[in-house]
Amino acid sequence: MTRTVMIDPVTRIEGHAKISIHLDDAGKVADARFHVTEFRGFEKFCVGRSFWEMPGITARICGICPVSHLMASAKAGDAILGVQIPPTAEKLRRMMNWGQIIQSHALSFFHLSSPDLIMGMDSDPAQRNIMGLIQQDPELARKGIRLRQFGQEVIRTLGGKSIHPAWTVPGGVREPLTAEKREKIATMLPERFDLIETALDLVYNAHETFANEIGNYGDFPSLFAGLVGPDGELEHYNGLLRVVNSEGKRVEDGIAPEKYREIIGEAVEPWSYLKFPYYKPLGYANGAGMYRVGPLARLNVCDFAGTRRANRALHEFRRLMKLDKPVSGTFYYHYARLIEILFCLEKIEDTIQDPDILNTHVRSQANVNKLVGIGVSEAPRGTLYHEYHIDEHGIIKEANLIIATGQNNLAMNKTVRQIAEAYVDGNNLTEGMLNRVEHGIRMYDPCLSCSTHAVGQMPMHVQLLSPDGEVLDEKIRG
């Protein structure tokens, strides 16, 4: 008899979701799906608001990466004004963006995933969280906390608040940096360079501990997409779109991000509030157009990092490539995240030494000059698109947002299926098996409040369904 196992809610991810695992007569996995269960409707209710308000509203899509929305939204606003923002404003925005990548990646690694990596996939679910880690290894937990704290502090120092700062505006930023604040950031840096070394050691250990898992945790060929800088360097704020295929060949390069519609389509499925973006030229059918975004994708698409230590780290990372193909194991998202933290720390270190960083001209003034604005940046989880159509008074007539996490939707589904096939035994279901499936989702660090911007949040519950959809058994972990 076939059954479906539900994991509900999926925990230690940023959002509300469920996973369903479909078992066949013999208790083997026939299919698995990742369902996002929250719907919020931002694209619709933004209609009728002023584009000036959009950074403030869209930041509330997500408390983990509000800065990404602030950036994309303000950039869409810059395009509407038709201005170049002052160079210092751009540097400051970049700095806040790096701060956010640091905090978000540290959160993903330490607060959400490290309990699996350090305590084990099958460890006691009552303890397998950051508070449990604090009990078990307070010093390590403190390190993770302090690494994230630095990123939040950079955001707070620049914008006045660590979450939803009202600082980025169309035309630039509201407030320049002061010498005092710059000093404050500088004094926090050295400790964080040490912390990232500790984190990298942890990930190297994890590669050994989970050597058997790596090949089953979402290791498959796919396209990878992300922004790269003008020379092909790792880039998070501006840049041009590049897509490489599973052979490592560039199928798109130098695409102005405003043209994203030419290469990205969005499909929908009745069983998830999260849309399914795909690479248009290859189509949606059978997952042909599946692509991945985020840290792993960015490291796979760029030519080099662009800072001294991150260049070296990237070089090391590329030893994982087989036959010059992109690194395909989803498990390596963890590793890629840490390399990006290192990169962002170095970038912040360089940028605060720039004499121009204290310049007080940080905002260009203008009014509506264009009726369409598209703003694109790299969020911690991948490329983020905001597109606004306005009337001559700046009132939004239409908004479209493509969120980083959504773009990994096809890959997340595939990953869940692969892990379920490898580890789930329907005749002998254990909590640890289900946690492995959930870890598959955690590797993508999905931000579901984001992805369900339009859509929803994500909780976990496993159901066994019969072929005609009848619920035969259910497992709610805990």
Partner 1 sequence: MTNKIRLGTAWLGGCSGCHMSFLDLDERLLELAAAADLVYSPIADLKEFPEGVDVALVEGAVANIDHVELAKKIRERSKIVVSFGDCAVTGNVTILRNRFGVDDLLTMVYREGPGKAPLGHEADGIIPYLLPKVLPLHQVISVDAYVPGCPPSADRIWAAVTALLRGEKVSLEEELITFG
Distance of closest approach, residue 42 Cβ to partner 1, in angstroms: 8
The token pair at 320 is 């994982």
- Nearer Cβ to ligand SF4 (163/267): 163
Distance of closest approach, residue 426 Cβ to partner 1, in angstroms: 19
Selection from ligand SF4, partner 1, none that 355 binds (CB < 5 to 8 A by kind) is none
* H runs (alpha helix) in 266-363: 295-301, 308-317, 333-351
Distance of closest approach, residue 239 Cβ to partner 1, in angstroms: 26
In sequence order, what E strands does 37-91 have? Answer: none
Angle of helix 66-81 relative to helix 87-106, nearest 10 degrees, comes to: 160
Distance of closest approach, residue 90 Cβ to partner 1, in angstroms: 26
Distance of closest approach, residue 454 Cβ to ligand SF4, in angstroms: 16
Phi and psi (nearest 5°) for 295? -55, -45
* H runs (alpha helix) in 327-430: 333-351, 404-407, 409-423
Determine the residue type at 304. Answer: F
Binding residue (CB under 6 A) for ligand SF4 from 60, 142, 146, 389:
60
Helix count and strand count (H, E) for the chain: 17, 16
Q: Contact letters (x/-) for ligand SF4, 151-190, by CB under 6 A?
A: ------------x---------------------------
- Nearer Cβ to ligand SF4 (1/163): 163
Selection from partner 1, ligand SF4, none that 327 binds (CB < 5 to 8 A by kind) is none
SS3 399: strand
Q: How far apart are CA 381 and CA 378, in angstroms?
A: 8
Distance of closest approach, residue 39 Cβ to ligand SF4, in angstroms: 15
- Largest Cα–Cα separation, the chain: 70
Selection from partner 1, ligand SF4, none that 6 binds (CB < 5 to 8 A by kind) is partner 1
- Going by C-alpha positions, the residue among 267, 339, 272, 288 that lies closest to residue 310 is 339
Total of chain residues touching ligand SF4, rule CB under 6 A: 3
- Cα 144–Cα 438–Cα 245 angle in degrees, nearest 5: 90
Distance of closest approach, residue 201 Cβ to ligand SF4, in angstroms: 34
Q: How far apart are CA 470 and CA 478, in angstroms?
A: 23
The token pair at 323 is 């036959």
Phi and psi (nearest 5°) for 320? -80, -10
Cα dihedral 386→392→396→398 (10° resolution) = -70
Selection from ligand SF4, partner 1, none that 147 binds (CB < 5 to 8 A by kind) is none
Length of the chain: 478
Distance of closest approach, residue 62 Cβ to ligand SF4, in angstroms: 8
- Cα 107–Cα 439–Cα 35 angle in degrees, nearest 5: 100
Selection from partner 1, ligand SF4, none that 204 binds (CB < 5 to 8 A by kind) is none
Q: Are 377 and 97 in contact (CB under 8 A)?
A: yes
- Nearer Cβ to ligand SF4 (61/302): 61
Binding flag, residue 63, ligand SF4 (CB under 6 A): yes
Selection from partner 1, ligand SF4, none that 363 binds (CB < 5 to 8 A by kind) is none
- Closest chain position to ligand SF4 (CB): 60
Distance of closest approach, residue 307 Cβ to partner 1, in angstroms: 27
Strand partners, 50: 395
Binding flag, residue 57, ligand SF4 (CB under 6 A): no
Selection from ligand SF4, partner 1, none that 275 binds (CB < 5 to 8 A by kind) is partner 1
- Nearer Cβ to ligand SF4 (14/252): 14
- Nearer Cβ to partner 1 (119/357): 119
- Nearer Cβ to ligand SF4 (163/189): 163
Q: Are 132 and 115 in contact (CB under 8 A)?
A: yes
* Residue 376 CA: distances (Å) to CA of 132, 167, 385, 477: 38, 18, 5, 38
Q: Are 255 and 245 in contact (CB under 8 A)?
A: no
Within 190-209, the residues that bind ligand SF4 by CB under 6 A are none
Q: Are 414 and 290 in contact (CB under 8 A)?
A: yes
- Nearer Cβ to partner 1 (222/457): 457
Selection from partner 1, ligand SF4, none that 422 binds (CB < 5 to 8 A by kind) is none
- Going by C-alpha positions, the residue among 354, 357, 320 that lies closest to residue 339 is 320
Selection from partner 1, ligand SF4, none that 236 binds (CB < 5 to 8 A by kind) is none
Selection from partner 1, ligand SF4, none that 234 binds (CB < 5 to 8 A by kind) is none
Within 392-451, the residues that bind ligand SF4 by CB under 6 A are none
- Nearer Cβ to partner 1 (13/228): 13
Interface residues with ligand SF4 (CB under 6 A)? 60, 63, 163
